[in-house]
Amino acid sequence: MKTDLTDTTASKVNKALVQGRRAIGTPAVGMVLTLVIVTDEENAYDALRAASDAAHEHPSRTLVVIKRVSRSPRDRTQSRLDAEVRVGADAGTGETVVLRLYGEVADHAQSVVLPLLLPDAPVVVWWPVNAPLDPAKDPLGALAQRRVTDTYASEQPVRDLATRSRAYTPGDTDLSWTRITPWRSMLAAALDQVTCEVRAVEVEGEEFNPSCELLAMWLADRLDVPVKRSLSSGPGLTAVRMDTNCGPIKLDRADGSLATLSIEGQPDRAVALKRRETAELMAEELRRLDPDDTYASALRYGVDRLKSSWSAPAPRVPGDSVAKGERGEPKSDGRARLALPAPVEAAAKAPASQAAAEEPVRQEPPALEPVRKATTK
Amino acid sequence: MSSSNPLRDPADRRLPRIAGPSGLVIFGVTGDLSRKKLMPAVYDLANRGLLPPGFSLVGFARREWAHEDFAQEVHDAVKEHARTPFREEVWQQLIQGMRFVQGTFDDDDAFERLRSTIEELDKAQGTGGNFAFYLSVPPSAFPVVIQQLKKHQLADQTGGSWRRAVIEKPFGHNLASAEELNKVVHEVFAPDQVFRIDHYLGKETVQNILALRFANTMFEPIWNRSLVDHVQITMAEDIGIGGRAGYYDGIGAARDVIQNHLLQLLALTAMEEPASFDADALAAEKTKVLGAVRLPKDMGRDTVRGQYSAGWQGGEKVIGYLDEDGIDASSKTDTYAAIKLEIDNRRWAGVPFYLRTGKRLGRRVTEIAVVFQRAPHSPFDSTATEELGSNAIVIRVQPDEGVTVRFGSKVPGTSMEIRDVSMDFAYGESFTESSPEAYERLILDVLLGDSNLFPRTEEVELSWKILDPIEEYWDKNGKPAQYAAGTWGPVEADEMLERHGRSWRRP
């Protein structure tokens, strides 16, 4: 059942939800969490589809917050909330409310979302794109126990990782981290099979893929050895090579689905390591709602320290990312054009460009040192 | 799993519990259980990424199969019965470790071939000598398979590797045969390497009994004789004996179900809080409570057995037990059994536990109902509470897993009238789809060596000590009461509760 409400308020939306449930004959609510998706119109469809697939595992109330772009100064002075309420078969296993915010109310989305949260149930906020640099300080992020960002969808993933590490608050998480769970699990299983000491590691994957950096940082953090990040043409992560005192261990995935695990002295084995859909990632993300300390620890290892941990001269990598930090334009161009005269969007992006302009971290890596130390328990 | 692995961290809860390098050997791999449950469970585990790289699956059966035929059989079984979608790359990973060994259980050559297969797998797949032997075979074949394993050194654990035996019920048919079986098995495998599968314990709802009781504060304070009136544990099936006449006749419902499933459910419902959630602490509490079970003094009054007669079951005309193929017309085997037990401890003294099970009952259901005493005083007049029953907490084990709480509520209107309502928690609603199948969980636990969910020797023997006197009494006295198929059992069972002013729940 679908109800459209134009120029409405949160209390009317609540009423529509109750009426909708009554109408389809299931007034009981068995939902376990509220998922708030903050997105633009362009990404809303895919995000909602992924969320409703994930909801098969975690019945939830899904609130999609779409901040609409006002195209003229006149529009901007007017403020309006439109809502689309879906319950029953239209919403999969839970309930879905699509909220479209026009004008000024777009800056006060939390006032719309707060009354619509399920009582006493955890809140997860997910930004498929354009996540704030400090998710916990964001007004919507502040409502949530769990804040899901995705640096993969970011313009400058590596720079964002550094920023996220400074802003990290328990409950933050990143889909780029979720993506590498099967890799981490397989690497841990590989080390279960041998009793060797790892001396050095190389992580190979495509550029602009923060999952590679996260995996490298996790390995460096756990193993306390130099980790080299090298580039390949993908897809995604392509290989991890560990140099141990009893020969090399290699996990190689050239095609994005079936990988080969080779351990010195043991036969090569095929292992399934398929790249996963967003819905699967969200399902994993929603499974645990407690702070992910392992992620925090890996993130706080720091991208800069990662680069310096590899003592061998690797000028290509740092040189490249500095250049990228300054360039930035070519990729962002596409999106900037789509959001053309968009003050709201521009405002949302402002902190990002400021951070890019400041960017003190890259020049002075030691500045990161105390932050990192403070976290290692 | 090596604890020195720097990539493992208990705080890292995303990393699943992956079994270490290992393999599974299934005896009786062509059987129904293997096709419908075991092989799909292995695939599902692989698909969830819970099996180690190089995991190997060895089938052992009489059929003349090549490795490819076996792989094809597994493939078909997986396609038909697996719960997770079929993915080619997972299949490719599994198929590399699949082997088939043809032979009978008394064939020494076959066991030699099995041994060389295992050695070959250790080399080719890196299984490290760790193998679990799943005996999906009739109980009569247990001793010979176990002896063969010993004779061909297949049960020897060398150089830090492990060898485990997995056995299915029935664990004997009385105390003496259970002890005999345990002796045979333990002669070859150490007690902590023997895993007895009671698939009920692999079910989420059964594990949830412990969570419900010991992780919450609102249930445990009322979980005792001061407030509980009685407990009913039911496992009902709507099917008849089907083609299992040979196995079922002479065994009966009580041995088939009460001895293992229902007494385990009773133990979990009634036990004290374990010191921790590890296998030893759990087994200690379960053993304590099973040891405190007291049988009824008058078995004629407080136990009932029955046999289904012809009738209508869910719109289908079905024949009676004595008319089933292969059943002797004078058979005294029980297809329905209801017994009343008490537990002699401070928490439960005087609270009856009613256990019942049967075939061809109203519908398929398993549940535990904790029924509370009525309020000692009611400020409402009797007409207001006429329709109010006893409060109850019902744990629905299957199907439609969940928990129901039943209590009285005012009927809307100007007069004061109170009626029973129920408040429902359904697994299907709050957590869907992801709960693993019981066999998945249990196979993974075997590979991990985690014996939390497996009954131990003492529990099996204690259960027989509870059931044996009842079976002996039944053997000497009377014969099973008849009940029409599709009903909720013989009238004698209803009378058994009515005598104390109680009645069976209609599940």
Residues of B in contact with A93 (CB under 8 A): 429, 432
- Partner-chain contact B2 A186, CB within 8 Å: no
B36 secondary structure, DSSP code: I
* Chain A hits for B21, Cβ within 8 Å: 192-193
Instruction: Judge whether B505 lies within some domain.
Output: no
Residue A48 φ/ψ, nearest 5 degrees: -65, -40
H-state helical runs in B278-366: 279-291, 299-302
Residue type, A46: D
Residue among B54, B126, B432 whose CB faces A57 most closely: B432
Shortest distance between the Cα of B50 and any Cα of chain A, in A, equals: 9
Best CA proximity match to A269, nearest among A252, A248, A287: A252
What pLDDT sits at residue A179? Answer: 92
C-alpha span between A126 and A37 (Å, rounded):
5
Which of A258, A269, A294 lies closest to B125 in CB terms?
A: A269
C-alpha–C-alpha distance, residues B507 and B488, integer Å: 9
CA–CA separation, B468 vs B295, rounded Å?
11
The answer to whether residue B222 sits within a structural domain is yes
Does B356 lie in the same domain as B297?
yes
> What amino acid positions of B are annotated as catalytic residues?
261
Residues in B closer than 8 angstroms to A187, CB to CB, are 7
- Tokens coding B460: 């099996």
pLDDT of A361 > 60? The answer is no
Enumerate the residues of chain A whose CB falls inside 8 A of the CB of residue B425. Answer: 30
Domain assignment of residue A346, yes or no? no
Provide the pairing of β-strand A33-39 with A123-126.
parallel
Q: Do B90 and A267 touch (CB under 8 A)?
A: no
The one-letter amino acid at B60: F
Contact B414, B393 (CB under 8 A): no
Among candidates B270, B292, B288, B290, which has minimal Cα distance to B280? Answer: B288
Top pLDDT among A293 and A358 is at A293
Predicted ipTM beyond 0.95:
no
Tokens coding B100: 């088939």
User: A272, B46: Cβ pair inside 8 Å?
Assistant: yes
Identify whether residues B155 and B287 lie together within a single domain: no
Within-domain flag for B274:
yes
Q: Do A30 and B425 touch (CB under 8 A)?
A: yes
Interface test with A, best of B1, B3, B4, B7 (most A CBs within 10 A): B7
Rounded to the nearest angstrom, the minimum Cα separation between A329 and chain B is 36
Which of A178, A271, A293, A376 is most worth mutating to test chain B (most B CB atoms within 10 A of its CB)? Answer: A271
**Bond from prior residue into A135 cis (ω within 30 degrees of 0):** no
Judged by CB atoms closer than 8 Å, whether chains meet at A222 and B7 is answered as yes
User: A335 CA to chain B: closest CA distance, Å?
Assistant: 33
Give A73's pLDDT tier (boundaries 50, 70, 90): confident
| pLDDT recorded at residue B196 | 92
Chain B contact probe: residue of A192, A221, A264 with most B CBs at under 10 A: A192
Nearest by CB to A184, from B15, B20, B96: name it.
Answer: B15
Q: Based on the domain organization, do B269 and B225 belong to the same domain?
A: yes
The answer to whether the Cβ–Cβ distance between B429 and A30 falls below 8 Å is: yes
pLDDT number for residue A319: 37
The average pLDDT across A203-227 equals 91
B342 in the same domain as B208: yes
CB contact under 8 A, A272 and B123: no
The total of structural domains in chain B comes to 2
Q: Which residue of B has its CA nearest to A271?
A: B93
Angstroms from B413 CA to nearest CA on chain A: 20
**Any residues with CB less than 8 A from the CB of A195 and at least 6 apart, and which?**
A246, B2, B4
Q: Is B16 helix (H, G, I), strand (E, B) or coil?
A: coil
Q: Which domain holds residue A36?
A: 2-175
Give the separation between CA A287 and CA A285, rounded to whole angstroms. 6
% of chain B surpassing 90 pLDDT: 47
Average pLDDT over residues A260-289: 84
pLDDT in tens, A106-138: 888 889 999 999 888 889 999 998 889 899 999
Nearest-CA distance from A237 to chain B in Å? 17
Q: Check residue B17 and give its pLDDT.
A: 75
- A227 and A219 Cβ atoms separated by less than 8 Å: yes
In a domain, A209, yes or no: no
Closest-approach residue (CA) in chain A for B46: A272
Minimal C-alpha gap between A64 and chain B (Å): 21
- Do both B119 and B249 map to the same domain? no
pLDDT value of position A311: 52
Within a domain: A46: yes
Query: pLDDT value at position A241?
Result: 93
The mean predicted confidence, pLDDT, of chain A is: 78
* Overall residue count recorded for chain B in this entry: 507
Helix-strand-coil split of chain B, %, nearest 5:
40, 20, 40
Of B20, B126, B429, Cβ closest to residue A59 = B429
* Pair B161, B233 in one domain: no
Clarify whether residues B151 and B206 are in a common domain: no
The terminus-to-terminus CA distance of chain B in angstroms comes to 44
| HSE-up (13 A, CA, CB side) for residue B378 | 17
Contact call for A192 and B128, based on CB within 8 A: no
| Contact in structure between A136 and A142 (CB atoms under 8 Å) | yes
B433 contacts A267? CB cut-off 8 A: no
pLDDT tens by residue, B169-195: 888 889 999 999 899 899 999 988 999
CATH number at residue B68: 3.40.50.720
Say how far apart CA A294 and CA B218 lie, in whole Å: 34
- Residue in A266, A272, A284 closest to B89 by CB: A272
Q: Which residues of B touch A224 (CB under 8 A)?
A: 6
- Angle, helices A293-301/A157-167, rounded to nearest 10 degrees: 120
Split at pLDDT 50, 70, 90, the class of A314 is: very low
Q: Could you read off the pLDDT of A144-203 as tens digits, one per residue?
A: 999 999 998 888 888 889 899 999 999 999 999 999 998 998 898 888 777 788 999 999
B34: its two tokens: 């293997």
Nearest to B430 among A32, A222, A269 (CB): A32
Q: Cα distance from B395 to chain A (closest Cα, Å)?
A: 17
Cis status of the peptide bond prior to B296, with omega within 30 of 0 = no
- What is the number of structural domains in chain A? 1
The reply to whether B212 and B163 lie within a common domain is no
Interchain contact, A185 vs B426, CB within 8 Å: no
Smallest CA–CA distance from B429 into chain A, residue: A30
Whether A48 is covered by a domain: the verdict is yes
Closest residue in B to A28 (Cα–Cα)? B424
Same domain, B74 and B212: no
Tokens, residue A134: 């400090």
pLDDT at A91: 63
- Shortest Cα distance from B124 to chain A (angstroms)? 6
| Contact criterion met (CB below 8 Å) for B78 and B116 | no
Across A14-25, average pLDDT? 83
Q: Locate A267 and state its tokens.
A: 């036969």
Given a cut of 60, is residue A354 above it in pLDDT? no
Which pLDDT tens digits describe chain B residue by residue (507 residues)?
445 788 888 888 888 877 888 999 999 888 888 988 999 999 999 988 888 888 999 999 988 888 889 999 999 999 998 888 888 888 988 888 899 999 999 889 999 999 999 999 888 888 888 999 999 888 888 889 999 999 998 888 887 889 999 998 888 889 999 999 899 899 999 988 999 998 888 888 888 899 999 999 999 999 999 999 999 999 999 888 877 777 888 888 999 899 989 999 999 999 999 998 888 999 999 999 999 999 999 998 999 999 999 988 888 888 999 888 888 888 889 999 999 999 999 999 999 999 999 999 988 999 999 999 998 888 888 878 777 889 999 999 888 788 999 998 888 888 888 888 888 887 766 665 556 788 999 999 999 988 888 999 999 999 999 999 999 999 998 889 999 988 999 999 999 999 988 999 888
What residues in A contact B125, CB-CB < 8 Å?
267, 269
Query: Across the interface, which of B14, B429, B431 has its CB nearest the CB of A181?
Result: B14
CB pairs under 8 A between A and B: 126
Q: In the structure encoding, which two tokens stand for residue A351, read together? A: 């902190």
Alpha-helical (H) ranges within B292-396 are 299-302
In sequence order, which residues have a C-beta less than 8 Å from that of residue B463 and are 6 or more positions away?
B259, B260, B263, B264, B290
Mean pLDDT lowest among A245-259, A308-322, B123-137, B379-393: A308-322
Q: Do A272 and B52 touch (CB under 8 A)?
A: no
d(Cα A268, Cα A263) in Å, to the nearest integer? Answer: 7
Q: Inform me whether the pLDDT recorded for A316 exceeds 60.
A: no
User: How are beta strands A146-149 and B303-309 bridged, if at all?
Assistant: unpaired
pTM: 0.80
Q: Are residues B147 and B221 in the same domain?
A: no
Dist. CA B268–CA A81, nearest whole Å: 53
Of B11, B425, B434, the CB nearest to A294: B11
Cα–Cα distance between B249 and B314 in angstroms, integer? 24
Query: Which domain covers residue B262, as residue numbers?
Result: 201-498
* Rounded Cα gap, residues B424 and B403, in angstroms: 6
Q: How far apart are CA B334 and CA B474, in angstroms?
A: 9
Domain at B277, CATH number: 3.30.360.10
Residue B398 counted as domain residue: yes
Q: Do B21 and A192 touch (CB under 8 A)?
A: yes
Residue A195 CA to residue A249 CA, distance in Å, equals 12
Q: Are B401 and B204 in contact (CB under 8 A)?
A: yes
CA A260/CA A241 separation, integer angstroms: 12
Chain B positions with Cβ closer than 8 Å to A = 1-2, 4-9, 11-16, 18, 20-21, 46-47, 49, 52-54, 87, 89-90, 92-93, 96, 123-126, 128, 424-426, 429-434
pLDDT value at position B2? 44
Q: Do A184 and B7 make contact, defined as CB atoms within 8 angstroms?
A: yes
CA–CA separation, A321 vs A157, rounded Å? 10
For tokens 């010993």, name the residue: B150
Both B279 and B161 in one domain: the answer is: no
| B289 and B243 share one domain | yes
